[in-house]
Amino acid sequence: MSDEYEHRLMSVAMEEAIKAKNRNEVPVGAVIVNSKTGEIVAKNGNRTIQLNDPSAHAEILVIREACDKVGAQRIPEFDLYVTLEPCTMCAGAISFARIRRIIFAAFDEKGGAVVNGVRFFEQKTCHHKPEVNYSVKGEEAGKLLKDFFKEKRKK
Amino acid sequence: MSDEYEHRLMSVAMEEAIKAKNRNEVPVGAVIVNSKTGEIVAKNGNRTIQLNDPSAHAEILVIREACDKVGAQRIPEFDLYVTLEPCTMCAGAISFARIRRIIFAAFDEKGGAVVNGVRFFEQKTCHHKPEVNYSVKGEEAGKLLKDFFKEKRKK
């Protein structure tokens, strides 16, 4: 898989993160891609406020949509691109969905669960570990989040 | 809070677990209660197969329903009763929802994340720790699960 391909897909996730910001949601976006065909099957951003749903992180929303489209609770041919390191909840859902590969942009020291925090995919209670790549457009995604929370604190 | 009160609510969660089993889903049930009024605001069992949704664990379903009813993504006055120790995904959702107290029945050594596994509520990346109680009707809930998987293996 070329760097250019991953950057292109992360740009789509970034667009979703910006849309989330414009809804006043934490600016995180995600995309799910069929690894065989390259087709984007779902893209979305955080909607926890809009939906009154603490589980409505970008990752959960695209996993639910992709699974619904495929008609299965496991989608092992699919890859997930997300602009922020997944949290504990989302890492669990990624594992249950049997996602083939995850690619994330910015690190999340405070709430991440892949290379930070509980490092869920390394644990015995994790029964499917996806391939992991990171730092694709990390600076851009990180800046979007940083600026968002800076603005919030001003208000 | 009396033992009898907790047993009564766990019995409602057990009924949901049995209904899940009858749908051929992993038999786990959950109930969310308003801690001020005692009112049950949501009850459900696993529906990951039925809904083609790996996130459709009993806990997530009742949290989503309760939050939708309350009209908020955080429900700090609510208590969650569940027949099995929550997994990593559900522990994350419980924390995000700011659930006041969780009470679970059976332990889950293979996939639990409260007293087993990542023990999420003890971690720095967990930003809300609910009160925790367990073993309420633990034997009964554990037997239901054990028998379910025993039957599965026979087929």
pLDDT digits (tens, 9 = 90+) for B115-129: 999 999 999 999 999
Answer for the pair B85, B107: CB distance below 8 angstroms, yes or no.
yes
* CA dihedral over A57, A59, A62, A67, signed as positive or negative: negative
Q: Could you give the dihedral angle defined by the CA atoms of residues A8, A44, A146 and A121, in that order, rounded to the nearest 10 degrees?
A: -80
CB contact A86 to B (< 8 Å):
no
CB contact A90 to B (< 8 Å):
yes
pLDDT at A155: 78
Please tell me which of the candidates B54, B96, B113 has its beta carbon nearest to residue A96. B54
pTM here? 0.97
Give residues with Cβ within 8 angstroms of B47, minimum separation 6.
B20, B23, B25, B53, B56, B61
Across the range B14-43, mean pLDDT stands at 97
ipTM given for this complex: 0.96
Collect all residues of chain A within an 8 Å Cβ-Cβ radius of residue B96: 48, 54-55, 89
Nearest CA in chain A to B57: A93
Collect all residues of chain A within an 8 Å Cβ-Cβ radius of residue B26: none
Q: Are A116 and B110 in contact (CB < 8 Å)? A: no
pLDDT at A1: 57
Q: What is the pLDDT along chain A (155 residues), one digit of tens a residue?
A: 568 999 999 999 999 999 999 999 999 999 999 999 999 999 999 999 999 999 999 999 999 999 999 999 999 999 999 999 999 999 999 999 999 999 999 999 999 999 999 999 999 999 999 999 998 899 999 999 999 999 999 87
Reported as a single tens digit per residue, the pLDDT across A37-47 is 999 999 999 99
Closest CA of chain A from B80, distance in Å? 15
For B14, list phi and psi in degrees, rounded to 5: -65, -40
pLDDT at B1: 57
Interface of B with A in 22-81 (CB under 8 A): 48-49, 51-56, 60, 63-64, 67-68, 70-74
CB contact B93 to A (< 8 Å):
yes
Q: Which of A59, A77, A85, A140 is catalytic?
A: A59
